[in-house]
Amino acid sequence: MNDFSPVTAAVIFATYVAVDILYAAYIIAVEKRRPLMAASISSVLYSLLAFGVITYSKNPIYLIPLASGAWIGTYLTVRWHERKAPTTPG
């Protein structure tokens, strides 16, 4: 197992924040039937996912920043979408 690097952990964290944001964008693009946008996002998304897998398979401790980044990415995306959506009266 390789040594732990705080810089690598930070990069993984940021990568998985981006992964979750891109995943939401991918779902929206598919729902809106935008094949070029969905395919482009998918390509970037799977490249970033592969980076994470390669990194944590060398050192499982990197799962911590990976999971934290995924949590933050999903949370921020849902909060942003929640604010963007019109509120229903009642």
pLDDT for the residue 45 = 93
Give the residue-averaged pLDDT of 33-47: 94
Note the maximum CA span of the chain.
56
pLDDT tens, position by position, 50-88: 988 888 888 999 999 999 999 999 899 888 877 877 766
Distance of CA 46 to the CA centre of its chain: 10
- DSSP symbol at 60: G
Give the whole-angstrom CA distance, residue 52 versus residue 19: 10
- DSSP symbol at 32: T
Rounded to two decimals, the pTM is: 0.79
